[in-house]
Amino acid sequence: MIKQTQKVYESFEHFCGLQQQWIKQEHEEEQKFIQLISQELTHAQIIQMGYGLGKLKLVKTKLTFGNRQVLVFEQQQKLQQEDNKEEQNKEFSEIKQENFRLKQGDQVGIYIWSNVLNQQKFKNPEAIGVIDRYRKNLRIILEQNCKIPDDNSIYGICLQENQVTYKRHLQVIEDLKQQYEKHPIIQILFCDQQEEKIKEKIDQNIEFQGDTIQQLNEQQKIAVQKAMKQPHISLIHGPPGTGKTRTVCEYIKQAVLVQRQKVLACANSNIAVDNMIERIQSISQLKVCRIGNPARMTDQVRYVCIDQLVKKTTSYAIMKTIKTEIQQIEKKLNRAERKEAAELRDKLKQKKKEYFEQQQLAYEEAIQDCQIIFSTNVGSGQFQFQQLTKNIKFDVVVIDECAQSLEISCWIPILKGNKVVLAGDHCQLPPTVKTKNTGLEMTLFERVENELHINTQLTVQYRMNKSIMQWSSQEFYEGHLIADQTVANRTVSDTILLFVDTSCCDFYEQQQESLLNFDDQNKSKYNVGEAGLVQIISEELLNLGVQKQDIGIITPYNAQVQFLKSKINDIEISTVDGFQGREKDCIIISMVRSNQIGEVGFLCESRRMNVAITRAKKFVCLIGDSETVSKDPFLKRLVDYFVENGEQRSAQEYQHDDKIQIPIKIEQVQQDVKKKKNPQPKIQVKEKNKNNKIEDQQIAPNIVQQEQNVVSQLEKQVLDFVNSKESELIFKGQNSFQRKELHELAEKYNLNHESIGNNKLKTLILSKIQNGNQSNLQQNDEEKIEITDNNKSNNQIIDDAKVDKSQKLEKQQQQQQQQQQQQQQQQQQQQQQQQQQQQQQQQQQQQQQQQQQQQQQQQQQQQQQQQQQQQQQQQQQQQQQQQQQQQQQQQQQQQQQQQQQQQQQQQQQQQQQQQQQQQQQQQQQQQQQQQQQQQQQQQQQQQQQQQQQQQQQQQQQQQQQQQQQQQQQQQQQQQQQQQQQQQQQQQQQQQQQQQQQQQQQQQQQQQQQQQQQQQQQQQQQQQQQQQQKQQQQQQQQQQKQQQQQQQCQQKQPKQNSQQKQEKKQNTQNKKTKEQSQEEEDEFYNQIVLKDEKKCSFMSNNIQCSQSILWLSQKCQFCNNQFCQYHSYAERHGCEDEACRHAKLQFQSNERKTEKSRTALQEKIQEQQKSRGKKQKK
């Protein structure tokens, strides 16, 4: 059995109060943003920010089964100018899908566009709906009981406030209070009820069903088994890539098939719920149902939506017939006379009543056979879900991605079952919370793991290379993760971890301009230089043969995401939240932050970085400024791990690439830092844009001039080297741009050029093409000429030397031409080899594509087979339904014939009755005419009387009004006086309470002082007793020494006398021991047993000052819980009175046991002696 430890909440009431307070704060924070959009911003600003759209034309409308209207809009590119403002038309024409921030599932209001243009704001929506999709067209599903006018008008949409989740969170707190004493999970988490701990071993007695359980590893099987055996709460902790969702789905399958349980499966997001449905459908053919708004579901899951399942029921066919009858009756009503209209209305009421009854039966029939019901956490609290499941008792509630859900939202589905299985990883993304310094980030998963310790952690991961995994395992999972052999060494190239350092460059961050001052998304940051590096590295991966769909780019800032999407196409780019639960072969991470202050922002959130890095299978590239990032300890450890276990490059190697841009100087950044230290009033957005443009125009020509100067200096050095006699020229410490220019100059002047080293240590060597041997021969020939021709004249020597030089120069030119030809041949050979390699790579890619196509074809064939099987099953079900419908129709026809006969008889009777009624009516009409004449006369008289009465009443009312005004004034004065008195009373009560609290505090302090004094006195007594005992022991030792000395002096030879003396001494020692023991027993009986209030062992009135620390310890001698005080006193030298009493009790008990043992031993010895004597006889 496991006990709860480290409670987060003091009590159940404390939990409910804090949750209600935090939820209210979170809701108020969300309302601020919506109110600012709707009240302060114009419609043009809202559209520019991406929270709205305009100029939408309604293309198509249709109805779903649940009476929800579906609207399909398209945006018009050319529309007549309804307003004379050209700026607005320009803004609308520039709208792009990447700037549209609304996503699937967001709630929006639908407005008439002409009203929006007149008011310049989105006010008074015509209807409210939910975005279903936004691709070429915009599709919106309206909420129930919402409609829009069909007058071919133009529409616009804007984000709306959604209060559904807030109301459901408040409602679940009330439900918790009602079920506090009944629900077992509440009792475990708030009332110290204990939960059993299941052993982590595979139980072979459990018979699993299906082959998919055999595909799991041992730890996953243990997790499934523990979840099946745990009575109330079970946790499955799944680090990245360990197959958590697969394990959860296998447990759901076994719970349904083996334990015959009804399961409610939930998650925080619609995507996570749909992912579970797809996994369940892939491993089994269980009957499932998805409850929720179809607009928030994926296309692959909508076929199991409740609205689609209802169409397969028999009640749905009956509903169709009733609906056609209702339509026919409504047509007859438009043409019927008064008499027939009343009968038709009665029939219409009956038919509508039958329609709604059949509709309810259809829903019950559809959901009754389902074994698993899926919904989101908040969706399980909606009215439709409660109505559909009011007659269903769920055995198990499963919550996936529990570590991303607010705890209060998890309680909505938990209260619908008696057992819950939580799955997640609290080391990955937390729930999204806008308010700071609240406890909403503490999830139910993390709290249960800390308090109950019943989780099962999955350790084998099937995603990442072991080098990528090792960092996450050490940093978050205490080194428990293991890479499976199939993925441990998977790579794209030799480099697995790459860190590109931008600290040596001017790649400083920039802030996105915002219309809102408090919105984090609009205060987002971006880095132009890092964006260029991302482009270069993605191109390098594509050149290695990696496909675009296998590359992912992650950055923590939305502004950087938008900037990268404008530069890179066909590669997925998103924030960390968008990649949760996903994976790619290669991941590139842009950290963005680069400043001289060392600000990192929310980049230091370790869980987000854990998610970002663990999305990769084979390769991770981290781009960032090491100087800025290393200010944070966590990020410094991350960078150090990449440098030690991977490859490090400097951004200077790519600095002069066309894709790299450096928009800001270092001087400007230093000015920004000074502005932060000395804040100044804000400047308008338009003025900032103008200043930035002017600064960019000033920076560009300065950079070009600097580059030209560098090139001219390098060219001078190369020309001087060519004209000199030196054979080599060495350049060190040059950047990539300078090295590139040197290579071009070497080719221009026919020089050899070679680079040696890596990164910052690269050196470039230029050398002349002619060999050293030729230069030596030239010098020797010149020396021979000078020796042999000493007698010649100086003019002849000069002429001969010139001829020889010209011949040698010709030879050198020929040799140079030959060498150039050889180099060209070598280059051609290299090109041919490269072409061959490219052809081989293309062939390999084609083979891979063919294999992939074959695999896809096989998968398609399997899917087709499965679809055929499903179609056959559906056909069989339809045939059965048709037979049932035919039988029902026959029964209905018989009933209709009987009803027709009865109706004919009733019609005859009604005709007779009508004739009689007509006669009576004629007589009544005559009487009524006479009565009417009399009534008219009476009415005239009454009108005159009423006029007189009205005049009198008006006068009375005026008087009453005056009196009421006077009374109201008096009441107001009285209320003010009462309020003042109440305030005075409250102040007096507060003062009294404060005085009482002070008195209580003083009393407590006095009691504490008294207790401390008593403890000090007890300690002093114990010390004195110990000193007395020590003195007695010293005296005994001195006596023994004296006796030994006397014996040595005497040295009597007789052994008999020595033995007698030893016996006497032993008997004396025994007597002294027995006397001391009896004295201690008497002391114990007198003090401990008689005065029980003073002994902490016998009662809890007095306790040792250190008893809290050693309550769990056991006695080191007898291993008994009742001797725990004694063991602590022996080991730690505690001199407390309670410990002394416990020690005395332990010693007395120990003596009794020793006496009994010695008595037994003596009896045994006597029996053995008697037996030996008998045997001798």
- In this structure, the number of other CB atoms found within 10 A of the CB of residue 313 comes to 20
The Cα 501–Cα 647 span in angstroms is: 11
* Same-domain check for residues 605 and 703: no
* pLDDT at residue 552, rounded to an integer: 95
**In-domain check, residue 35:** no
- Closest by Cα among 520, 535, 658, 669 to 594: 669
Interatomic CA distance for residues 853 and 354, integer angstroms: 54
Residues 6+ away with beta carbon under 8 Å from 504: 650, 651, 652
Contact present, 291 and 379 (Cβ < 8 Å)? yes
The pLDDT, as a whole number, for residue 762 is 65
Q: Nearest-CA neighbor of 459 among 474, 473, 447, 439?
A: 473
The answer for residues whose C-beta is within 8 angstroms of residue 531's C-beta and 6 or more apart is 560, 563, 564, 567, 590
Q: Specify whether 486 is located in the same domain as 452.
A: no
Distance between CA 999 and CA 887 in Å, rounded?
A: 87
Task: Give the separation between CA 145 and CA 168, rounded to whole angstroms.
Answer: 21
Q: Does any domain span residue 438?
A: yes
Q: Which of 458, 489, 523 is the last residue of a domain?
A: 458
Could you give the CA distance from residue 121 to residue 679 in angstroms, rounded to a whole number? Answer: 34
- Taking the C-alpha atoms of residue 1023 and residue 541, their distance in angstroms, rounded to an integer, is 79
Q: 545 with 632, same domain? A: yes
- How far apart CA 623 and CA 500 sit, in angstroms, is 5
Q: Report the domain count for the chain.
A: 6
547 and 647 together in one domain: yes
Domain containing 196 equals 167-286+371-458
Boundary of a domain, candidates 634, 652, 680: 680
- In this structure, are 556 and 647 located in the same domain? yes
CATH code at 645?
3.40.50.300
Whether 980 is in a domain gets the answer no
Backbone angles phi, psi at 79, to 5 degrees: -140, 145
Same-domain check for residues 649 and 594? yes
**Whose CA is closest to 444, among 462, 459, 426, 432?**
426
In terms of domains, do 654 and 541 share one? yes
The stretches in the chain having pLDDT less than 70 are 1-7, 63-67, 77-99, 134-135, 144-145, 149-151, 192-206, 513-523, 658-707, 733, 735-737, 757-762, 769-809, 812, 1045, 1047-1060, 1072-1152, 1177
Nearest in space to 69 (alpha carbons), one of 110, 104, 102: 110
Residue 91 domain flag: yes
Pick from 574, 605, 607, 578: nearest CA to 472: 607
Contacts of 227 (CB under 8 A, 6+ apart): 234, 236, 251, 255, 421, 456
Q: Would you say the C-alpha torsion 106, 112, 115, 120 has a positive or negative sign?
A: positive
How many angstroms separate the CA atoms of 2 and 1129, rounded? 29
- Which residue in 257, 277, 262 sits closest to 213, CA to CA? 257
In a domain, 970, yes or no: no
Specify whether 380 is located in the same domain as 472. Answer: no
Q: Which residue, among 516, 509, 524, 730, has the nearest Cα to 598 in the 3D structure?
A: 509
Asked, for residue 428, whether it belongs to a domain, the answer is: yes
Query: Are the C-beta atoms of 250 and 222 separated by less than 8 Å?
Result: no
Spell out the residues 6+ positions from residue 1085 whose beta carbon is closer than 8 angstroms to its own. none
Out of 141, 162, 183, a domain closes at 162
Same domain? For 394 and 331 the reply is no
Q: Are residues 471 and 579 in the same domain?
A: yes
673 and 698 co-located in one domain: no
Any idea what the CATH number is for the domain that residue 727 is in?
3.30.1370.50
Confidence (pLDDT) at 548: 93
Does 271 share its domain with 351?
no
